[in-house]
Amino acid sequence: MLHGFFLLIVFLSEVAAIIAYGYWGFAFPKSMAVKWILGIGAPVLIIAVWSLFLSPKASFPVPHLLQLFLKLLVFGLAAAALYSVGRPKLALLFSLCVLFSHAMDYLLKENS
C-alpha cells in the first residue's frame, strides 16, 4: 500500500516535470511563435524521450546507470526551467519532492 502511494507520487512528479517544461516554454521571453513552439515542443520531446527510453515498458530500454542519468537530467532540467522563469521556491519544492518520492520508491522496492 505504501509503495503504491509513492509510485503515485513518482508518476505525479513526472507529470509535474512535463508541466514545468510547458510553463518554461510559454514564459520564454521571445515572440509568441517561439513561446508556442517551446511551450508545446519541450513537453512533447520529454514525453517522447520518457516513453522511448525511461518508462517501465520502454521501446528501447537502456542500462540502469544511463536510465538514472537521463532521469536526473529530465528532472534537473525541469527544476532549472522553473528557476529560470522566476519560480525558485517552486523549483526547490519540486526537486525535494522528486528526490524524496524516488528515494522512497527505491527503498520500498528493495525491501519487497
Residues 25 and 43: their CA atoms lie apart, in Å, by: 9
Q: According to the model, what pLDDT value does residue 112 have?
A: 61
Q: According to the model, what pLDDT value does residue 81 have?
A: 97
Say if residue 38's pLDDT is above 90: yes
What Å distances lie between residue 31 and 35, 42, 103, CA to CA? Answer: 6, 16, 40
What tens digit of pLDDT does each residue of 42-99 get?
A: 999 999 999 999 998 999 999 989 999 999 999 999 999 999 999 999 999 999 999 9
Q: Band of the pLDDT at 5, cuts 50, 70, 90? A: confident
3-state SS assignment for residue 53: helix
Q: How many CA atoms lie within 13 A of 51 on its CB side?
A: 8
